[in-house]
Structure 1
Amino acid sequence: MARRIGGAGGGSDKGDRKSNVVAAACVLALGTAVAGGTTLGGGAVLSGSGTLGGSGIASGSGSVSGSSFSQSLRTRTNQARTSARKGDADTAWKRLGLRSTKKTIRRDPECVGASFGQVRTFFLHTPCRSLDRVLFTLAADGGTVLVSVAWVDLPSRQSTREFVDLIDVHGSGDIRPLGAGLLGMADVTFTADNYRSRSLGTTVTIAETEPASGRVDAAVLQAAADVASELPRP
Structure 2
Amino acid sequence: MRVPNGFYTDGQGRVRPINGKKGRGGFVAAAGATALAVTAVTGGGGATGGVSSVAGEQVTARVGSAKQAARDGRSDKAWQRMRLRVREQRSPDHRLDCIVHSFGQVQEFFVGHRCRSLTRTVIPLADEQGGTAVVSVAWVRTGSTRDARALNRLDRRDGTGDIRALGSSVLAARGVSFTGEHYESTAKGTLFVRAEAAPMSGNLPPALLDGMAEVAVLLPRP
TM-score range, shorter chain: 0.7 to 0.9
Counterpart Cα distance in 2 of 1:120 and 1:180: 16
AA matched with 2:200: A
**Which protein shows a greater Rg?**
2
Counterpart position of 1:98: 84
Match of 1:123 among 110, 117, 120: 110
- Shift in alpha-carbon separation, 1:69–1:187, aligned structure 2, 3 A: closer
Q: How many residues are treated as equivalent by the alignment? A: 177
AA matched with 2:136: S
Return 5+ residue gaps in structure 1 as ranges: 1-51
Q: For the aligned residues, what is the CA RMSD?
A: 2.2
Match of 2:55 among 69, 77, 88: 69
- Shift in alpha-carbon separation, 1:102–1:181, aligned structure 2, 3 A: farther
1:124 is displaced (CA, Å) by 0.6
Return 5+ residue gaps in structure 2 as ranges: 1-38
- Is contact 2:131–2:204 with CA below 8 Å preserved after alignment? yes
- Is contact 1:80–1:96 with CA below 8 Å preserved after alignment? yes
- Shift in alpha-carbon separation, 1:82–1:211, aligned structure 2, 3 A: same
Q: Whose RCO is larger (CA < 8 A, sep 6+)?
A: 1
Moved over 3 A (4+): 180-183
* 1:165 equivalent in alignment to 2:150: no
Aligned to 2:87, what secondary structure does the other structure show? strand
- Is contact 2:148–2:188 with CA below 8 Å preserved after alignment? no
* 1:223 equivalent in alignment to 2:174: no
Aligned to 1:107, what secondary structure does the other structure show? strand
- Shift in alpha-carbon separation, 1:63–1:213, aligned structure 2, 3 A: closer
AA matched with 1:123: F
Match of 1:150 among 128, 138, 142: 138
AA matched with 1:209: A
Counterpart Cα distance in 2 of 1:181 and 1:127: 26
* 1:199 equivalent in alignment to 2:199: no
Q: Percent identity?
A: 39
Aligned to 2:122, what secondary structure does the other structure show? strand
